[in-house]
Amino acid sequence: MNQRTIVVQRDVQADQKADAATERERLGRRGTLVVNLLSSPGAGKTTLLEATARHFAGRRSMAVLVGDLETDRDAKRLSPLVPVAQLTTGGACHLELSLVQRGLKALGDPEVDFLFIENVGNLVCPASHDLAEHLRVVLISTTEGDDKPGKYPKMFRTSQAMVITKLDLLPHVPFSVKAVTEDAHRIQPHLKVLANCALDGSGIASWCDFLEEQHQQQLATYHEPAGNR
Amino acid sequence: MHERSLIRSLLRQVEQIVAVEGGGKVTEIRVQVGDLSGVEPLLFQTAFDDMVPSVFSSDCRLALEIVPVTAVCSECEHQFEIVDFQFRCPECQTKSVQVIQGDEVTLISVSINSNNSIEGVAS
Ligand SMILES: [Zn+2]
């Protein structure tokens, strides 16, 4: 018998992270900004996407991959507005890159300005999976309490923006925008904080401006500046 | 329960290592799990116990080590442990800190028992 220990020291997700980086670069090079939207169930991801699609209509192109445990209800709501593919996880708590790639193929790999991934409603598991996104956005609705960031640190630590939704309900619920912002900034000081109400459209323009700005900034790295050679 | 997906990746990596090493019986897989990795150690262990018999023998042990979150301050270079997810330098109070350890799930080592001697004599 020969007993040996092989030292590895390797990230368990190294292969998936490398695949995601390759896919991110491929999409970025051709001008698609990939946005991964995460939240608890019912925070308003689909409603925000509907409002975004209306705002961008005729000016910016977008497609949506909708992750859902079983149903296709969210995909049905969005399909009159934008190209949508449904990613059914069959009960799994998060999306993985292979599902995203399958969804892209189902849409015919469209060359859009924005590809939104509506992740499964869950603030824990999706935080650990790179879906080739350029931008990770966590949504938090005014109805779910302002102590979420501290409870789900990884989600807020790995996101670049936090969108507070259902602002219209603020007078009726015990939720402080200031408290949630402080809690989130304690975990991720660079987190961009936005707030909106998709029902009456307030805040949607600044959310879309932020997306435009990210599109320009993040994808600029893929283009060689003119006169640089 | 994304722990199952992580165990799947882990077992795939170990399988590749065993193949490169020329086979053998895996007795222990050592893994470090960071406090900021989003992994629940108990669920990770349960998923491992559940899935390992289909790839390796069920007496293959998972040695799990929890790694605290460590950060380095980008202003004063002070290195410190993040307690209660307070991402702020305790020395200079700046919030510009970089996590250097504690957000990953790392395969540390694989212990293999093989009947083959080092010289490669067939069993
Ligand atoms: Zn400092």
Distance of alpha carbon A48 from alpha carbon A67, whole angstroms:
15
Contacts of A131 in chain B (CB under 8 A): none
Q: Is residue A144 part of a domain?
A: yes
**Cross-chain Cβ contact B107/A154 below 8 Å:** no
- Ranges of beta strands (E only) in B1-123 are 25-34, 61-67, 70-73, 79-81, 97-101, 105-114
Residue-wise over A1-10: b if at least 16 C-beta within 10 A, else e? eeeeeeebee
Query: Which domain range does residue A25 map to?
Result: 14-228
Query: What does each C-alpha distance from A18 to A10, A129, A221, B9, B63 come to in angstroms?
Result: 13, 12, 18, 13, 26
CATH code of A210's domain: 3.40.50.300
Q: Which of B3, B4, B5, B75 to substitute to test the interface with A, most A CBs within 10 Å?
A: B5
From A3, A16, A153, residue closest to B9, measured CB to CB: A16
Residue-wise over B90-109: b if at least 16 C-beta within 10 A, else e? eeeeebebebebbbbbbbeb
CA dihedral B101→B105→B108→B110, nearest 10 degrees, is 180
A63 Cα–ligand 1 center, Å: 43
Contacts of B37 in chain A (CB under 8 A): 128, 154
Q: Is residue A30 part of a domain?
A: yes
Q: What is the pLDDT of residue A221?
A: 86
Q: Is residue A1 part of a domain?
A: no
* Six-digit token string for A178: 């200031």
Q: What is the pLDDT of residue B116?
A: 58
Q: What is the pLDDT of residue A31?
A: 96
Beta carbons within 8 Å of B108's beta carbon, 6+ residues apart: A7, A8, A9, B30, B31, B32, B65
Distance of alpha carbon B100 from alpha carbon B72, whole angstroms:
7
Query: What does each C-alpha distance from A94 to A37, A125, B1, B37, B50 come to in angstroms?
Result: 12, 6, 8, 15, 20
Contacts of B111 in chain A (CB under 8 A): 3-6
Q: Is residue A32 part of a domain?
A: yes
**Cross-chain Cβ contact A11/B106 below 8 Å:** yes
**Cross-chain Cβ contact B108/A8 below 8 Å:** yes
For chain B, list residues with pLDDT below 70: 1, 116-123
Contacts of B115 in chain A (CB under 8 A): 1-2
Q: Is residue A63 part of a domain?
A: yes
Query: By the 8 A CB rule, do A144 and A165 touch?
Result: no
List, as ranges, residues with CB under 5 A of the ion ligand 1: B 73, 75-76, 78, 89, 91-92
Q: Is B60 assigned a ligand-binding role in the annotation? A: no
**Cross-chain Cβ contact A2/B13 below 8 Å:** no
**Cross-chain Cβ contact A188/B87 below 8 Å:** yes
Q: What is the pLDDT of residue A66?
A: 93
Q: Is residue A222 part of a domain?
A: yes
Query: By the 8 A CB rule, do B104 and A11 touch?
Result: yes
Q: Is residue A64 part of a domain?
A: yes
Q: What is the pLDDT of residue A72?
A: 81
Residue-wise over A48-65: b if at least 16 C-beta within 10 A, else e? bbbbbbebbeeebbbbbb
Query: By the 8 A CB rule, do A65 and A85 touch?
Result: yes
Tally of domains within chain A = 1
Q: What is the pLDDT along chain A (229 residues), one digit of tens a residue?
A: 789 999 999 999 999 999 999 999 999 999 999 999 999 999 999 999 999 999 999 999 999 999 987 778 888 899 999 999 999 877 778 899 999 999 999 999 999 999 999 999 889 889 989 999 999 999 999 999 999 998 899 999 999 999 999 999 999 999 999 999 999 998 998 999 999 998 889 999 999 999 999 999 999 988 755 554 4
Instruction: Please give the model's pTM, rounded to 2 decimal places.
Output: 0.89
**Domain architecture of chain B: domains with CATH:** 2-68+102-119 (3.30.2320.50)
Distance of alpha carbon A207 from alpha carbon A54, whole angstroms:
13
Query: By the 8 A CB rule, do A215 and A112 touch?
Result: no
Q: What is the pLDDT of residue B122?
A: 44
Q: Is residue A76 part of a domain?
A: yes
